[in-house]
Amino acid sequence: MDTSGLTFGIYPLSAAGTPFGLATGPADDYKNIQAALRELQGSSTKLFPRTYLIYTKEWETKMLANADRYLESNLLGDLTIGCGDWTQNQEPDIELEHWIDFIKKILNKYGSHLASLQITNEPNLSFMEGSKPYIIQALVEGVIAAKKEAQLLHLPVKIGFGSVPESPASVPHFWDNLAKAVDSTFIESVDFVGHNFYVDVFENKPLEITEVTSSVERTLRGLRENLSIVGIPTSVPIRVTENGWPTGKNPVANIERSYERQSIVMETIIRTIYRLRMDFNITHYELFGLRDADSSKEDLFHQYGIMRDDYSPKPAYHTFKVLIEELGL
């Protein structure tokens, strides 16, 4: 375990998945993205873009085209392959051989450009991947296949899977069911576990800063406890793979969310994760995300960025740059 600092990353694009569909806006500008990433990285040795592909058999051609675009734009670093179309309740069962074949295609074509490959993004979120009855099988067999293929290709790509905290929106008994589905081959194939969590975003009232700190610690401790149920040892690192604090307005609680508060909460969360990195073996922090989907829309789902949709920085952009310089590798 490297205890010298965190490896930082960021989602560099604009579209954001929401419970109500996809939040979109002005097109991504890849030149502006590259300029922003270079400035954020500064003298740090690492700042990985975190990008996504979502597999269905029907979407395969589109997803491979997306991967080509990421490659051309130097945005392949930490890649996540989500599984299934969660907008379709009647989606048929996944054809496992096609799912595995897609994972192999990605590693064969893009593996030399990847630092890591995460199999599933939020498999225990009930209205996303967790809504699919096949998700545990797809996760387990996908991780094993990815690790085997990476080894066959002699690629140093780290293989992991994703998760979200326990909540009323998470899949009941997910960790117990995952424990029943795994064996030693799976455990030995897992190089990291990604965790997506958002503090002080969906609550009915704003949290005090001290509550933000305690929420972060409680979330990470809960993940470690759940991983122990599965038999994943503490030597397998946790990565914070999605975390952020959007501006705008909470559409449910109708709370205004300022640029200044974004910077304060983000810094509090990152410093807390840094302080806890050795206690829970945390190696990565990846922010969601670089720019707003659409700054003209006041709801928080369109304003996750630390930049506006024209790539002008919010105060949190400069805060994140300082934190990468101070706490990063």
pTM confidence score: 0.96
CB 157 within 8 A of CB 119: no
Asked if the 7-327 domain carries CATH number 1.10.260.40, the reply is no
The CA–CA distances, whole Å, from 198 to 6, 72, 77, 202 equal 19, 31, 22, 8
Peptide bond into 248 cis (omega under 30): no
The CA–CA distances, whole Å, from 309 to 12, 232, 292, 298, 312 equal 12, 40, 5, 13, 7
In angstroms and rounded to an integer, the radius of gyration of the C-alpha atoms of the chain is: 19
Q: What's the token pair of residue 93?
A: 């069962």
SS3 state at 31: helix
What is the rounded distance in angstroms from the CA atom of residue 249 to the CA atom of residue 97?
Answer: 43
pLDDT at residue 96 in the model: 93
pLDDT at residue 91 in the model: 64
SS3 state at 50: strand
| Helix, strand, coil percent content, the chain, rounded in steps of 5 | 40, 20, 40
What is the rounded distance in angstroms from the CA atom of residue 212 to the CA atom of residue 258?
Answer: 16
SS3 state at 277: helix
pLDDT at residue 2 in the model: 47
pLDDT at residue 323 in the model: 98
DSSP code string of 153-210: TT---EEEE-----STTBPTTHHHHHHHH--HHHHHH--EEEEE--SSSSSSSPPPHH
What is the rounded distance in angstroms from the CA atom of residue 52 to the CA atom of residue 67?
Answer: 9
Q: What's the token pair of residue 38?
A: 């270079």
At which residue do the structure tokens 């997506």 appear? 196
Contacts of residue 134, defined as CB under 8 A and 6 or more positions apart, other chains included, come to 84, 93, 94, 96
In tens digits, the chain (329 residues) has pLDDT values of: 445 899 999 999 999 987 777 899 999 999 999 999 999 999 988 999 999 999 999 999 999 999 999 999 999 999 999 998 877 666 667 889 999 999 999 999 999 999 999 999 999 999 899 999 999 999 999 999 999 999 999 999 999 999 999 999 999 999 999 999 999 999 999 999 999 999 999 888 899 999 999 999 999 999 999 999 999 999 999 999 999 999 999 877 788 999 999 999 999 999 999 999 999 999 999 999 999 999 999 999 999 999 999 999 999 999 999 999 999 99
At which residue do the structure tokens 């759940």 appear? 226
At which residue do the structure tokens 């797809």 appear? 138
> End-to-end alpha-carbon separation of the chain, Å?
13
DSSP code string of 52-102: EEEE-TTTHHHHHHHHHHHHHTT--SEEEEEES-TT-TTPPPP-HHHHHHH
pLDDT at residue 24 in the model: 95
What are the residue boundaries of the structural domains of the chain, listed by start?
7-327
